[in-house]
Structure 1
Amino acid sequence: MTSPTDALVASGLTKRFAEREAVSNLSFRVPTGRAFGLLGPNGSGKTTTVRMLTGLLRPTGGTVTLFGQRLDTASADALRGRIGVQTDTNLYESLSVRDNLQIWGELYGLAPAVVRQKAGEVLEVLGLSERVDSLVGQLSKGMRQKLSVGRAVLHEPDLLFLDEPTAGLDPEASADLIDYLKEMIRTLNTTLIICTHQLHGLESLCDELGIIRQGRLVITGEVQSLLRRRWPEKRYRLSAAGDPAAVRAAITAVIGAEAEVVVTGDHCEFAVPEDEAISRVIARLVRDGLGVRAVVPQYPTIQDLYFATLNDGSPS
């Protein structure tokens, strides 16, 4: 059942091309004002999914609901007026950066003065202000990528789809883009669907995610819940003085001989069932004359979850 707070609901979404099923029975929902990461390797079906979610490609089966209204032929034009899409970098190469944004803004019904104002803001954030009069054909791949994102956000859409938006961007530009997207979510209550296999920085952006492999959604849910489900125990990285075997023996004496303790040089990593156990581990090491140099909590990341899920195909 669709909630009035959902910006997007996909139900049983399926797409076949001849005998090949590119997307199979995808179902997920994204609440308004949240960022959802649709993650997967190249060829997993992310772009096909986005094209169905935006009405550019008709699904073989299943439905898409945007803002509580089913997406179909009759509703597509009105609903697309509320979304922004960046799925490629097809721009007007013989026109300037300014003209590209002007044309795009007018297509969305923005007044010329509003387009100029918004274009200036977007280009400033994306670091393209000095190239506003450059022909797009003269821009680097990274600059074109920035411009395609700027074009998608120009009209401040309620729902924004970005497909590999950081591809071709250097780390600084990627960080600036992620900060800009977070600000859109915070100030405009924008809902974001980001499709990518580039995972750096997603922890600070995505509230929820789904991992797609070979057209099937392997897991989906709230990021922290998925991480806790996968790694319920707290992990630590510890450095102590003394014989590594003695350090291992002291740790296992507290957390159990069956526990996995991975020793690398003078560091070891292990999991404890509760936070209080780490205090007992440190006390035991000190009692045995093994000086503790450092204890650092290890927090699993979206990248850890991504590779663990693709490696074993764990169900949700």
Structure 2
Amino acid sequence: MMNPTNTLTLNSQPFNPATSKVAVLGAGIMGPGIALVFAEAGYRVTMCEISPENLDKGMASLRDSVALKVSEGLLDDTQARQIIERVDARVGIEDTVAQADLVIEAVSEKKEIKQAVFQTVQKLAKPHTVIWSNTSTLNVFELIEPDMAGRLLVAHWFAPAHIVPLVEVVGDGGNTDRLVTETIDILKNIGKVPVRLNKMINGFVINRLQRLLGREIFYLLESGVISPEDLDIAVRASIAPRMQVLGVLQRYDFTNLNLSVRNFQDPDFTDPPFEAVPKYLQDRVNEGRLGVGTGAGFFDYQGRSSLEMQQERDRHLYRVLEALGEYVDGPRPVR
């Protein structure tokens, strides 16, 4: 539950809705959701893009997400209007960066683009301004000048950012330990569930797990073992609900670790072959079946727009999270 307070600090400076300004750079998949979270917590947010068209799309996505929360009974009309009024839209980033206390980088996952953004922040931002990078795989600490060390960390959100609670937080060694602690406090205060990574690793934690799982998924599909529909049904009816209680590690304690050792040693178990890109996935891309945005991927969306599908996804996610309650808001090992 969001409960903004005046006792938070960021880079040892007071950080609160009354005085602190947040800049979100990028209005694509992640930016609007991140901006919504901060605006709902009472902060003034400026969302920036390099083109008016992309900015308009991002603001439309944000307004649509707010409208869905109203329709789900999570906000009333007054709250919705106040949230939208707290979000400014700006083409370009220079003026916004110069005024911000927190800059959240959510631009394209390309080294050269992120590096250019960091250079602008270094040149124009106030001395105490902190930058969170929402990179999903890159070691952004290699892309900055020494003068920015200690002011940059990774705060990796998950789509849709305004619904999925998790944020992975990782700093650049000892010189960002305090900043990581402050960031975790802020994220908890605005209703997120942050986890601290002890060191940098490309892809962080969840994306690495998903990457490995993806290789098995596409191997099973390409081998004709199961259909896409039945595969998703199988997951939803088995490991998905169990994970909410036991995660992925505590499950081994309940299975017994010696049995797990035998499973890893089983000579009859065939692991999927390594491919840079699984053929089953690449074939869909070659056919132009890219997913919701093109109307079809592994499933056919029958002409429904990506905005319609986003609404449908988000509506179900809200209901799942409401039903799960503390299993998502404050997940803990079973004791």
Using the size of structure 1 for normalisation, the TM-score is: 0.25
The structure whose Rg is larger is 1
Of Structure 1 and Structure 2, the greater helix share is in: 2
Using the size of structure 2 for normalisation, the TM-score is: 0.24
Of Structure 1 and Structure 2, the greater strand share is in: 1
